[in-house]
Every structure is written in C-alpha cells, then in structure tokens.
Structure 1
Amino acid sequence: MLPKLDGFYVCNKIREKDPFIGIIILTARSQEADKIAGFSKGADDYVVKPFSPRELVARVESLFRRVSMIRRNNNEIFMYPFKVDFNSRKFFKEDKEIELTHIEFELLKLFINNPNRAFKRDEILNIIWGEDYIGSYKIVDVNISRLRQKIEDDPTCPKYIKSIRGYGYRWEIK
C-alpha cells in the first residue's frame, strides 16, 4: 500500500540490486496469492498486519543471522567465519589465511558458490578435473579430506563440508 509504487515492484528492484540483502514484507494483504507474489519477487519473509512486535523482532533477528552469514563484495565472499578473495585466490578463516592447493581452492569455490547444494562425486570430478579425466572418483574423496583438514574445526565431525552417504558432498549453511 505504498503511495505511487507497488511494494512487490520495490521488492523486485531491491533484489535485483542486491541478491543478498534481507527483505521482510510488512503488509495488510493476507491472500495466499499476495504472499506467493511477495516471495516470487524476492522477499525472505512476509508478515501480515496485525502482528506482534515480539514476533517481528524474532523474524528480523532470524533474517539478520542468515544475511550476515553471506555477503558478496565484487570478487570476495564473506561467509562467517570465512572470507574468500577470488582475485588473489586467498582463503581466510577468522582472518587467518589458509594455504590451499589449486584443486582445494577450486573445490572450495564450487561449494561456496553453491551453498546447501548436493554434488555427486562424479559431478565434482567432471567440474574440477574435467570430463576427460581418467581415474577413480576416489580422488574427490581424498581432496575433500585434505580440504577438511585445513578448514574444519574437527575434520572427523565436519560442520561445513558434509558427506551425503552414497551420493557426494554439500557445503552446509544453517
């Protein structure tokens, strides 16, 4: 109900400019079609009036936690506790640089650019080593293990690079 503008239009324009900014729509429109339109235009949450101030604060805090985890700045990604600089090919954990091999960096780049997406081992093999690579997909497991040794707090119980039994791996963001 903005004057002269449609809120869905504004939401869409904001999302085009910054895909990582948090957007909560506060509205009197309660129809399912309106909610779907809001989400399809890029809203992270949709709150119908009247609402409890405590509920709104909880929703804002939840969105803030998610949004503050991922920020892009040109050729850098900040994803607490990590920072990746693609131009210099440097990786940091809690502001401490961690040396990565070419393959480890490529794996990390694949995962960080696709958070929460599951990759099959052979898919990773084709993306990182190329479709003409001759050898076992176990090379993926070996390099994932090496990468975990460098970035995980406890490589035996990984928090970031999750194994999907019988399938492959996923970079997990909560």
Structure 2
Amino acid sequence: MTKKVLVVDDESAIVSAIAYALRREGYEVDTAGDGEEALRKVQSFHPNVMVLDVMMPKLSGYDVARKLEDRDDIGIILLTVKNDIVDKIIGLELGADDYMTKPFEIRELLARIKALLRRLEKHSGETQRGTLDYGALKVYPDRRTAELDGEVLELTPKEYDLLLLLLSHPQRVYTRDELLEQVWDIGYAGGTRTVDIHIQRLRKKLGEPYQNVLQTVYGVGYRSVPAGASS
C-alpha cells in the first residue's frame, strides 16, 4: 500500500521541493500551509507521516503536535530553523518522532521518513507479544494499552513505548541514549533529558508502589524490576 506523507510549511518553495522528491519516491503526498489546515488534512488525508514546520501562522508545529499527541498511527518529523536543544526537546516531549534543522538535504529527509515508517510498522506488528504481567500492572501489546488494578492508564504513545520496552526486558539496564534511539528512533546527543522527563511522568502515573518498577541506575540509565524483586 502506498504510504501517505503530509508536508506542512508556510514556505511554498520548501513544500514544493519536498513534495516533488516524495512523489518521485512513490509516496502519495498532500500539503498544507498552516497548522489549522494541517489538522483538517489529517482528518481527510489520513497521512502515515507528517513533515511539520515549527514556525507557522495560526497554529505552530508544536501546537499541531500537541493536538496529535495521542495519535500513535502518525509519525511526525519537525522542521526548525533553530539549532537549539531546548526547542528540540520540547518537540520530542510533545510526541514528535524526529526533527531536522533548516537548511537540510532532501535526501536525508527521505532517509528519515523511511526509517520512521519502518519503526511505525514495527510497532503495528507487536501483536505477537503476550501480555506483560507485573502483578496489578499489565501491558497489552496487541491493544497498545496498559492497566493498573484493572484501570486503563492514560499514556501518551511515547510513554507507552518506553514502558513496553523496559518491561519487555526486566533487569536489563538501558542507557538514556539507547532509550532515545529505540523509542524515538533517533540518535540525539544532548537530548537525553527528554527520557528523564518521560520516566518521571510514567512514575507519577504508576504511583506507589509501582513507580518503583522503573529504577534509575545512577550514572547509566534505567531498568525495570518486577515488584518484589531485589534490586
């Protein structure tokens, strides 16, 4: 099935160049010139991936990403003119999967879109995994949901992916760079703070005593430890 890419930018020359390159690669492409139009196109076009500029009229790329935070079926690549770590972390925390700083090579963008589509397909193929049972904490990969004491946890797609990865490999220690690469599918030097923030949010949602399932390995990263197991 042909993959769909929605290109969103208020600079028509950039939109035209990206759309042309994508169509040559066989993608179905639609475009939007501002954030409000982008959200309408999401409903009508149903893209697999959005290439989304940050600085736009009406709604910024951040605002669009925030409104789509719970849509784990859409991959988002942010475009920004700022090569600033804080801006990039904000985008990743809002649910974006990758980012590129303008100006950029179209070939690199195409490679990142392909990599993102592979990751989305990998997540959609998780149905072969069985339920992960940590006592009252249960994760259901076939439904991409987690429950605690029978109540569904309200997790963002990235929070869910992070929890699933750690619980799937109990006691294995992951560095922050490994988690960033496997959950966000990017290698981002200096951006590991976003991992810490997502772990903090997960612990808050899990509450006592299950927040202790996600343990910090100081100076290294994180691991999951089943409730009642020795650390």
1:165 aligns with 2:218: yes
User: Residues 152 and 160 of structure 1 are in contact (CA less than 8 Å); yes or no, is this contact kept in structure 2?
Assistant: no
SS in 2 for 1:91: strand
Which amino acid in 1 is paired with 2:165? Answer: L
**Identical aligned pairs, as a percentage?**
30
How many residues were matched structurally? 100
8 Å contact from structure 2 (residues 129, 141) kept in 1: no
Q: Deviations over 1:138-162 (max 9, x none)?
A: 000011111111013168xx41111
CA contact (8 A) 2:203 2:212 kept: no
Match of 1:143 among 153, 178, 198: 198
Q: Distance in 2 between matches of 1:130 and 1:169?
A: 18
TM-score with structure 2 setting the length = 0.40
Q: 2:154 pairs with 80, 88, 99, which one?
A: 99
1:1-174 residue pairs with structure 2 within 5 A? 75-133=130-188, 136-153=191-208, 158-173=211-226, 174=229
- Supply the distance in 2 between the matched residues of 1:135 and 1:121 (Cα, whole angstroms): 10
How far 1:75 moved relative to its partner?
Answer: 3.2
TM-score norm. by structure 1 comes to 0.52
Shift of 1:131: 2.7
Shift of residue 76, structure 1, vs aligned partner: 1.8
After superposing on structure 2, the runs of 4+ consecutive aligned residues of structure 1 that deviate more than 3 Å are 132-135
- How far is the alpha carbon of 1:77 from its aligned partner? 2.0
SS at match of 1:131: coil
C-alpha RMSD of matched pairs (Å): 2.0
CA distance in 2, matches of 1:74, 1:169: 22
Counterpart residue identity of residue 218, structure 2: R
CA distance in 1 between partners of 2:160 and 2:209 (Å): 19
CA contact (8 A) 1:120 1:169 kept: yes
Structure 2 unaligned regions, length at least 5: 1-127
- Measure how far apart 1:79 and its partner are: 2.0
SS of alignment partner, residue 159 of structure 1: helix
Return the alpha-carbon distance in structure 2 between the equivalents of residues 74 and 132 of structure 1: 26
Gaps of 5+ in 1: 1-72
